[in-house]
Amino acid sequence: MTDRLRLFPLSTVLFPGQALPLVVFEQRYRLLVRECLDAGEPFGIVLIREGVEVGGPAVPHAVGVTARIRDASRLPDGRLHIEVVGERRFRIVALFDDRPYLSAEVEYPVDDPGEPQPAQLEEARERYRQVVRLRDIVAGEFQRAIEVPATPRGLADAVGGLGLASATERQRLLESMDGARQLRVATELLGVTIEDMHARAAEAVAARYGSASRLN
């Protein structure tokens, strides 16, 4: 089964379940947003492979995620502020440029859930907890209960939504349709991130402690 989908190429990667705020100022994308709102339809967010995000043509990667608009408002200068949430992966079958924006015929690939070992899943879950805790420390936020997705696919998508790596690495994670393989890639990204996050958290704590001592 295929669908015709409006496309919004960006320099970031959206994952299923991830919320993403966007400020839309180009006329072609204002039109796209209005049409999606009127029709009650999602559009597709795809990472740019070649080209530019603003003012010119862009060639997207073949795999993206549908984005459902859940909030939209007009700013005083005419720009649109929207918040979208990622829904499901799609693969581009054919591109069309018969509108001011790109559109595509897309198919929705069937995921292979794979069969990761329980120990692999638990390792990934624990690394995810560590990274979220360290991010909270860096941000100076109160420690909170951390909800960790139970399935390999859900966990890997949540890792992608953290934005831990470059867009290219996150795209590689998005394009993996095998749940077990995707979990391995996500676990690797978490492992690489933890060491850096530990250092940043230590610096943040030291800076806050130093600031407090100078105030006394």
Cβ proximity of 9 and 58 under 8 Å:
yes
Which residue type occupies 190? L
* Number of residues that make up the chain: 216
Q: Are strands 80-96 and 103-107 parallel, antiparallel or unpaired?
A: antiparallel
**Confidence label for 76 from pLDDT (cuts 50, 70 and 90):** very high
Tokens of 106: 């897309």
Whole-model pTM: value is 0.86
The beta strands (E) that lie in the chain are given as 2-10, 19-24, 43-51, 58-60, 63-74, 80-96, 103-107
**Confidence label for 212 from pLDDT (cuts 50, 70 and 90):** very low
Average pLDDT, the chain: 89
User: Does residue 8 surpass a pLDDT of 90?
Assistant: yes
Give the DSSP H/E element, type plus range, for residue 119: helix 118-139
What's the confidence (pLDDT) of residue 216? 36
**Residues 105, 119: Cα–Cα separation, whole Å:** 40
Neighbours of 122 (CB within 10 A): 12
Query: What kind of architecture, by CATH, is found in domain 2-107?
Result: Roll (2.30)
Q: What pLDDT digit, counting tens, does each position of 20-75 carry?
A: 999 999 999 999 999 999 999 999 999 999 976 776 678 999 999 999 999 999 99
Q: Are strands 43-51 and 2-10 parallel, antiparallel or unpaired?
A: parallel
User: Does residue 110 surpass a pLDDT of 60?
Assistant: yes
What's the confidence (pLDDT) of residue 117? 81
Domains of the chain, by residue range, sit at 2-107, 118-215
Cβ proximity of 92 and 156 under 8 Å:
no
CA atoms within 13 A on the CB side of 113: 7
Q: What pLDDT digit, counting tens, does each position of 116-153 carry?
A: 788 889 999 999 999 999 988 888 887 778 899 988 88
